[in-house]
Amino acid sequence: MLRIGGATADSPDHPESSGTSDPLIPVPNRHRNQVKSRPIARRRPPQGQCNTAARNTRCTSPDHNIRSGCRRLSLKVKRDLFGCPGDSAIDGSAHIIKDRGFLFLYRGGFDKKVNRETTLRASIPINRWLQLTENPDALYQLKEIYPREGTDLGVYKYGEEFLYDMPRESAVILSIEPAPVGMKPRRPVQKNQPKMLVVPAFGA
């Protein structure tokens, strides 16, 4: 018994209740006129421009790795600066792609007395060991992101040595990027302190 609109095929209210019609009543296809949805294609940003809305698209802007969400690309690469963690009084890593990226530094080692009572100075060469593109004429500006956000740490020529005095408690995040056009190499004034331990990166 097939019910259509509240009446059955053998009821007197149904137009085909005489029994002469085909008992198989065609059912209209409800999905015949529906348009299938198509996936939305994501467009890549033009070369040299940044499109933060396209989260799944890799940014092609060279200035975007440091200043916005694309900085996560730099963090996908890593180079240990002071050997195995725990073996040196300073631990850290470089996260650099081509000519810009980040340096992470923090007091390491297993000697707590050295960590608390000794003034530590990191010595880091600005060269290809950091995964920088080899360019003897390049100038790089270093800044502190944490804990003293925006602190200018100087401008260094490719191949020079970067010295940084470690704070007592906090870890450190530094940024490195090409210096603006017209800048010249310069270093901040650093004073030698008693019981200072200079820790070279890469065992140099």
73: helix, strand or coil = helix
**Concatenated DSSP letters of 78-108:** -EESSSSTTSSSEEEEEEEEBTEEEEEEEE-
Q: pLDDT tens across 17-38, in order?
A: 444 445 555 555 555 555 555 5
**Concatenated DSSP letters of 38-53:** -PPPPPPPPTT---TT
- Closest by alpha carbon to 194, among 139, 127, 118, 136? 118
pTM metric for this prediction: 0.64
Give the CB-side neighbour count of residue 130, counting CA atoms within 13 A.
32
Domain 69-203 homologous superfamily, CATH: Golgi alpha-mannosidase II (2.60.40.1180)
Q: pLDDT tens across 47-73, in order?
A: 444 443 333 334 444 444 444 444 566
